[in-house]
Amino acid sequence: MTDFSILEDGIDQSREMIEVRRTIFFSLLTGREVSIDDLVVDFGEEVIPRIEELVDGGLAILDEEHATIVGAEGVSLEETSHRLSIGGTDLYTWCAFDIVGIPSALKVDAHGVTNCPTCGRELRFSSQAGVFDGLASDGELVGFWPNSQGPVVENFCPSALIYCSIEHLKIHKGEIFEGSALPIDDLARRGEVTWRIFCN
């Protein structure tokens, strides 16, 4: 399980696909949406079925009206309840796991904000070169890792939240829940696996 990435499950692992995904991801990270036309210029018409595969896998979100990609691989330019700032660019993410996992994988300075789903407490995470300190070292916090399959943004992200404590997780999900409760250090390590195709 430790080598499993939810971003690779059932998705084409060809070099071409990875290049397309990297282009989209790094554009979004600088706050720029990605035009489908530009991708066709860069990669040819065969990029269209690749984009469709990413959308079907819940790994990219299209703005159909403008033919642009406005979110991918956990990063969103559309507002969500999780915020992540990297390199001075203010972004949103699809889940709380992203605000820990992405900086950890990319080894960047970052600030992330989310809220405990149970009590609403604001949880702020800061990293330097992908290493978290402060709140992240609070051994009480737990990240929920859902047992999910299928499209990531629809099936995984809505539950991949961070709680003040195991007690707050159980208040929200019940005593018996389908998934794992992980310390922040474990979320960071899973981030390194999850976003590995974006690391050199």
Q: Note the residues at the interface with Zn ion (CB under 5 A).
A: 116, 118-119, 121, 164, 168
- The nearest distance, CB 21 to Zn ion, in angstroms, is 34
State how far the Cα of 7 lies from the Cα of 185, in Å rounded to an integer.
Answer: 20
> What is the closest distance, in whole angstroms, from the C-beta atom of residue 118 to Zn ion in the complex?
5
Q: Which is nearer to Zn ion, 145 or 195 (CB)?
A: 145
CB of 140 to Zn ion, least distance (A): 10
Minimum CB separation from Zn ion for residue 123, in Å? Answer: 8
User: Residue 51 or 116: which CB sits closer to Zn ion?
Assistant: 116
For Zn ion, the closer of residues 124 and 196 by Cβ is: 124
- For residues 91 and 116, which CB has a smaller minimum distance to Zn ion in the complex? 116
Helix, strand, coil percent values for the chain (each to nearest 5): 40, 25, 35
Hey, how many other C-beta atoms are within 10 angstroms of the C-beta on 167? 12
Comparing CB distances to Zn ion, the nearer of 155 and 165 is 165
How far apart CA 141 and CA 87 sit, in angstroms, is 26
Bridge partners (DSSP) listed for residue 112: 84, 125
CB of 161 to Zn ion, least distance (A): 10
Measured CA to CA, the distance from residue 111 to residue 99 in angstroms comes to 8
Residue length of the chain: 200
Instruction: Give the integer Cα–Cα distance in Å for 101 and 156.
Output: 14
In angstroms, the CA 37 to CA 49 distance is 14
Dist CA 173 CA 69 (whole Å) = 33
